[in-house]
Structure formats: C-alpha cells, structure tokens
Amino acid sequence: MGINFLQPLFLLLLIPAVYVVVRWWQGQKQMATSKKMTIAIIRMMVFALLILVLSGLQLLFPVQGKTIVFVADRSASMNDDPRIISFMREAVQNKKADDQYAVVVVGATAAVDQPLTLRAEVQQLGVEINKHATDLAEGIRLAAAMIPSQARGKVVLLTDGVATHGDAGRETQLVKERGIEVEVVSLQQPQGNEVVLTSLQVPQQLYAGEEYAISVEVESTIATQATLRLYEGNREAGSQIVQVEKGKNRYVFTQKATEQGFHRYRVEIEAQRDTSHANNQATAYTQVAGTPSVMIVEGHPGAASNLVSALKAGNIEVEVKELAMLPKELDAYKQYASLILADVSATQLGETDMERMRTAVRDLGMGLIMTGGADSFGMGGWFQTPIEEALPVHMDLRGKEELPSLGLQLVIDKSGSMTGDATGYDKMELAKEAAIRATSMLNAQDQIGVIAFDGTPWEVVSPQPVTNLSAIHQQIGSIQADGGTDIFPALQMAYDRIKSMQSQRKHIILLTDGQSGSNDAYDALLQQLTAENITVSTVALGDDADTQLLEMIAQGGKGRYYFANDAASIPQIFSKETALASRTFIVEKPQVPARTGAGQWSSLRQELPALRAYVATTPKQTAEVSLISQDDDPLLARWQYGLGRTIAWTSDLEGKWAPDWVSWGAGSRFWNEIVAWTLPQVNEGTWKTQTELVGGNGKVTVSVPSGAAMPQELEGIVLNQQMERTVIRLKPTAPGTLEGEFAASEPGSYLIQIVEKGGGQVTASQTTGLTVSYSPEYGLTEDGEHVAKSWLMAGGGSFITTPDEVFGKELPEKWETQLVAEWLLILAALLWPLDVAVRRLQLPDQWWSRLGGLWKGRKVQRSSNNPQQEQDAVWTRLEEKRAKRRTQAQPNADEPPKMNVGQPVKPPTESGRKVAAQQAEQTEAVLGHKEQNKADQAESKQDETFNRLLAAKKRRNK
C-alpha cells in the first residue's frame, strides 16, 4: 500500500499551523505545562487532519486483475472467420478468477457484443453491424472506453489488418498513452481468383448527337476471358467479349448521345474464372443537353389530354406516364424538367413515390404542378403527405367556421392480425396514424368518436368536439393490437354513439383486415343508419379481410368501399374519406376568378373566362396567389420549394369544371407560361466536377475554369438511395479547386447536386453522382499483415500469435486509489470537542501531572509507600518559591540565607511558624501595602494547596 496527494502544495500549510500553535503556547503563562501540552497536541492533530483533506490524501492499493477487451473484425472481408470465436474461448480459459474481459465487434461502426464479465465462457457473437466497411480505429476507441482508468487493461484485435477508413495507428497511440496495451491477432484471408471492375468513366456533359467514349477499368489476379455489358438506364446499350490479363486492364465503349437529360450508365463483367461476383459492376452519370421534357401523370385516362395538346403547341416535349410506370429510382426523375399530377389521388401512389417526387423538387430542382378534380388536393387524400409539403397550398380548410359541421365515427380493427403484414408495415400503427390524420382535418365545430374492436368493442374516444387535438391523438395512440374479430357489435356501438352527435353530417369509417366472428343481421342496422342520414364507408385491408361483407356494408350504408392491399395507403384513404364526408372541399359556384397581381404572366392580363367549380384549399403563408375565388380561396398559387418551383391549379383540366378555360383562346399560352415557370431557372454550372470513392467516403472535386472567379459559396447536396439528405460544404484546396467529402460506406447510388450561392440566392447548379457498386471489402485486398504492422509500429502496438499470450503477458502495474478525506474530517470533528473539554473542564492538578508524565514518556509513581518523602518534597518546593519571590521583591536588600535546594525540609513547628510570621511583617513594611497583599494571597494559596494535599493523602491512606 502507498499514499498519494492530489494537491501536495497544500501540505505547506503545516508551517503556519505549527507557527500558530507555538504562538499560542508562548502566550499561556499561567497554564500548567501538561495541560498546555495536551491542548497543543490536539490542535496540531486537528490542523494536520484538515490540511491532509485539502491536499487530497489517497491510499494506493495495487490492482491485481487484468481487463481484456477483444475487438472482433466482422466486416465482409473476414467472412465470419470461425477462428475468431475459437481464439477468444481458448484465451479466456487461461484467465485468473479476478481477470475480466469483454467483446466488441467492428465493421463500418463498432458495437459492444458482450460487456465486461468475470465468467470463463465466451458466448457466440450475435450483434449485427454494417459489414460494408472496416473502421478498426472506432473499435479500438470503444474498447478502450470500456476499460476503467485504474485497470490493468489491454485491447486485443482479431482482424485481417485492413481498414477501409479510420486511422488505427493514431488511435493505438492515444490508447497507449492511457497505459492500455494494444495487440493484434493476424487472421489473413485466402485470396482466390478475383476479377474486379474498378472504374467506369463517362463524359460529364454531352450534347444530343455527340459521339463519346465510355472507359472501363478492370483489375484481376488471374488471366481469363470475360464478357462486358453496357447498360443505359435499364436498357442494354452494348457488349463485348474481352481477354482479361493479370493486373490492370482498360476497355472502351463508343456511344452516341441520342436522348437529352440526365443518364445513368452501368457496366457489368462476367468472367469465366472469378470468386466473388459482388465486385463485378460499376456505374457513372452524364448530362445530355437538349430541350426540356415534362412528365405528366394522369389519375384516369384523359385527365390531361387538353394540357398535352396545349404544351405540344408550345414546343414543350411531353411524356405521359401511367401510374404503374413511375420511375423507381431518384435519378430517373432528373431526366424531366417538371412533373404534372393531373387529378391524381394519393391512394394511387405509394409513400415512397411521393418521397421521390418531393426530393426531386427540393434537391434536384425539378418543377411540380398539381391540377384539380374530384380526386385531387384534399379530395384525393393528399393531407399531410410529402406532396402537400412541396405545394403552395394546405389540403385542409383553415379558418372557415361557417362550413357545415361533420360528425365522424371511426371503427378500427385492433385484433392480433393487425400487428404486421408481409411488406413489414405495422398495420396497427398505420391505422392509428390514419385516425390521427382524419381528426386533424376536422374543424372545431366538428365532432369525433373512435371505437376499437377485437372480439368486443372498446370506446377509445367518446363523441366530443375537435377542440383538444393533443388529448384525442394521445387516446388514439393508446390502442394495442390483440384478440379476435367481431364487426357487428362495434358497428352497433358506432351507431349508438354517432346518434348523439350534434352535427349536420354524420359518417362512419370501418377498417378491418379479418373475417367477422359472427353472422349478424346487418341489413336492419344499415336501414337504421340510412334512415338517419348516416353514411358508412369501409376499408378492407389485405386479402384476408371479409371483402364481400365490407362491400355490402358500404353499399347499404351509401358510402364507399376501399380495398387496400398495401397497408401504407390507409392514412391516405382515411384523409380522402374525411374530405368526401364533409362535402365542403368541392365548391360549385360559377364565377370569374379575380387577379391579385402576383405572377406577371402575360396571358392573365387578358379577359379571364369563368369557371364552374374548384377544390377548396388554404394558401401557405409565403405562397404567391395569382387567382382567387369569390370566397378568397386560391385558384392559382405558386412558390419556391428548395431548388424547385411548384404550382397549384385547383380547378380541373378536362372541361367539366372549367369548360370555358379549355376553349379560351389564350389557354395554350397560359399553360405554356405556367409550365415554363416551373422549369429550372438557374444556370448550369460551368465548372468541372469529379467524384471518386476514397476508403469509405465519397469525394467531390470541383475545378473552376481558367480565368473564372472562385464561387463565393459552393455546397453539395448528397442524396442516397433511401433519399437521406446530406449537405457538404466544398472548400478550396488549391487555386481553382474545391473539395468535399461525405460518408459512402453503403453500396448504392449517391446523387450530388452542386449548388453555387451568391447573396443568399442560388446562381448556378450542376447534377452529378457517385455509385458505390460494391463494398470496399470486396475489392482486391492488400497484404493485411503488412498494413497492420505499419500502423502498429506507428502506434506502439504488437502482434501475438497464441491464445495463452492474452492473459499470460504481464501488464504495467496500476494502483487503485482510496480517498480518505471523509474519515479524516470525521476524526477532526471528534477531536474538536475534546479540545474544548480540555480547556473548559477544571481537573485536579495531579491529573495534569500524570498526563505530563505520559507526554514525557515516564510513569508517575504513587507515594503511598513513603508519605514522609512526599510531604517533605512538597514543603521543599513551597519554600523554594517563597525564597524566589522574596528575592524579587527586595532587589537592594541583603540576600536571605540560601537554602539547600533538593534537601528535605521538615514541617514547621509552632516556634517556626511564629518566626515566619515575624518575617512576613518585616517584609510587608519594606514592600508596602500593595506588595504585601500580593504576598499574603500567594502564601494563602500555598497553604491551601498544602492542606488539600494532606487531606488527599489521608483519604488515600484510609
């Protein structure tokens, strides 16, 4: 055991402490020496204890056990090597009882698989991680963080030594500085016959009709024959049979740019001798300049036929797509300058399709137009969707209390089958989201009720006005799926509850995914509902639902029947049903739109025709409304959304609601101006952009043309296949060159929109991309042991080869500290009352004499065996003191006869007392009245002391 001080400079306070005690000692003239000694020692101990507390006194104990953290490399290049688990298990068998270990697994990230434990058995590795990269530095960092600061620790890596990103050498050095050893077990993987497609290069910008070359680079460990195939999008554009030589190979495809727009090229190689096929493809992007193209999506055939004719008359290229043919890749939307949704219902699109469209507008600069109709805007269930976020109008009606009130009763299946479906969606969660959306569309004068059912119905939300949305949403969120399915009791309860609602319109929405548990008479109940003008719509979720029963209920309830094969469409169905039930969204009122002055389109300066109907919406705060209705509803609104522009036209295109607009002479120019406004307005960047994969990161390099000014602000918007958005700042690295990096460890396509800004406005943009065709783990591997040796040497680590070296090697000594400040404070607190007691309590003098003897290291002898000697000694001391005082009182008088100091003095006789009295009278005459009084007092005290001593002696003798 040892000691340590956290703040040793505080020990210097001992010097003033000793000084204070010494000064106190010198000031105490009348106190007995033994008492002063006792008080001084107590105070010095109190001072010393407090100073030790301030100095941070610690007791040090040697740490006996070892703490080992294994870092298991589980990246793809390791192929789940079984040697990892066997090595750890054999190593743990050699540990001592007080040794502990833990297991960390590492890939693109690191995670704890097994926490610190003392048990002597390693469990099978079970934590799943991203295997597409290797970050050994992250694994070392996490392992070191698990080792306590005072433990004798060590990190043991089981890996092939190759890291795709991260600085393992630096992290090893940092860990080494903490006193933690780093050791590596090299598990090299066999390298088979491997053909790797390493690069695909396509010109960044092309013009229609231009011929260009596509360069392909292949690296191989063997010589073999292979077939190269080139794809433009999903169309095969060429192929060739090539002889692959060992090492690096380069091949070229010659192509001609025939279609303008943004294009993706993919090359695949199929070799006769190859081990892994994951690294046999590469992708690149190019932009072919030309006339912009507009994609139109119709909700039903003919919904946009008039618009197509008008745009073609204005020389705008148009492509009409069916809903089933919508692009399934984000980069495919980049081929179009704008997208038009003509009377399309949200139930016809998936959530992912909406997200792609919204992302293409916001981040790629594509335009978006939505036109009205019976299945559009709020009527189409677009409430709270990504498309609503992009458009300049809200789908619900806000601030219109004069609208007819609606009483809505939701009946939701909560049986056990609602927990999930084959696509991975939680049907119960989507049903709750749908109910929450439906309530959010209602106004304060509307009423809502919610019933959930399994074998029996349960009233989740009793009928009430929609005034406290948060409380209603919280109640809906409490629904949990379990039990069976019985529809009739739930529908009966819904009828009983909705009758009590005070509203002008009443509607029930029933949702279930199962068969009803009983065969009840629905006809009588439906007749009661329709007799009271209560409508019922039903939603059958999945093939297991009782579709015939639900369709019959919808027909008998004069509502609508929906079959939802995809659970993700439930929220859109509920939104659409709520809008249809209210019957307030379609405004049928012939009128001529009023101009507001926003949007300086020349066609709007002419006399405007009348329209008969439109879908009511609410304009967003920053939107520009160009045309409004008599009720101040927006008819034509626009705004900027991210890099793109969007427009809402709330009437239709077919002529049912606006026939005069179809035959209007300026109609073609009107729509050409609207579509042209949504086309990308910023200039195409003149700089040259290059992308490449460096380790686990994508690198973007922008080269500014010679003589051009450096951009004030240049950023890149990176979009992966999941449409996750990352914004990177491009910084100058050399004259005319700017660079930026982003994480790209996951295989897939990354679209990159380069944006130049000046004064807060976008001045130029350019689209490029980077495709990680395969994980770096599947590339040609380096000599892992050589790589590991290089960063181990830099960081101060070492290799081990056998399991017994893990716990067998000695580690540097570590000390466990124990703070004793609390105990020292307690001891000081106990000594302080003792100091007070010694000063305040009047103890007999002989007690202090004995205590003084203890301080001097000797024992005080009892005098009961020789009383005469004790008495003689007392009288001798008294006579010595009297003689000293007389000498001091008579400095000029003759010296009195000296006494034999140390000789025993006999007690005075009667005659002796008389002589002493006479001498005292003479002394009083010489000293004066004042001095005599002092002498008398001193003599009286001595006599009193003498008498007490004699009395005490007698008591002891008895």
Tell me how far the alpha carbon of residue 892 is from its chain's centroid: 98
Task: Read off the pTM.
Answer: 0.69
pLDDT of residue 809: 79
How far, in Å, are 444, 462, 531 from residue 534 at the CA level? 20, 18, 7
Give the dihedral sign, CA 689/691/694/698: positive
pLDDT of residue 957: 60
Instruction: Read off the DSSP letter of residue 860.
Output: P
Name the stretches of the chain with pLDDT < 70.
Answer: 1, 61-63, 399-403, 420-424, 517-520, 583, 780-782, 812, 814-816, 841-958
Q: How far apart are CA 516 and CA 455, in angstroms?
A: 9
> What is the DSSP secondary-structure string of 174-228?
HHHHTT-EEEEEE-PPP----EEEEEEE--SEEETT-EEEEEEEEEESS-EEEEE
Instruction: Outline where 679-820 has alpha helix (H).
Output: 784-795, 804-808
Residue 520 tokens read as: 């009840």
Q: How far apart are CA 823 and CA 819, in angstroms?
A: 9
pLDDT of residue 903: 46
pLDDT of residue 61: 66
pLDDT of residue 389: 95
316-325 long-range contacts (CB < 8 A, ≥24 apart) are: 316/291, 316/292, 316/672, 316/675, 316/676, 317/291, 317/292, 317/293, 318/293, 318/294, 319/293, 319/294, 319/295, 320/295, 320/296, 321/295, 321/296, 321/297, 322/297, 322/298, 323/297, 323/299, 323/348, 323/349
Residue whose entry in the numeric block shows the structure tokens 């609104």: 637
**Cβ–Cβ under 8 Å, residues 627 and 610:** no
> Count of CB atoms within 10 A of residue 156's CB?
24
- 315 half-sphere exposure, CB direction, 13 A CA radius: 2
pLDDT of residue 134: 86
Q: How far apart are CA 277 and CA 362, in angstroms?
A: 36
- DSSP strands (E only) in 376-500: 393-394, 406-413, 447-453, 457-465
In sequence order, which residues have a C-beta less than 8 Å from that of residue 382 and are 6 or more positions away?
A: 346, 370, 376, 388, 395, 572, 575
How far, in Å, are 8, 21, 234, 829 from residue 18 at the CA level? 18, 5, 92, 19
Residue type, 657: W
pLDDT of residue 859: 45
> Count of CB atoms within 10 A of residue 677's CB?
16
In sequence order, which residues have a C-beta less than 8 Å from that of residue 35 and are 6 or more positions away?
A: 838, 848, 851
**Cβ–Cβ under 8 Å, residues 350 and 566:** yes
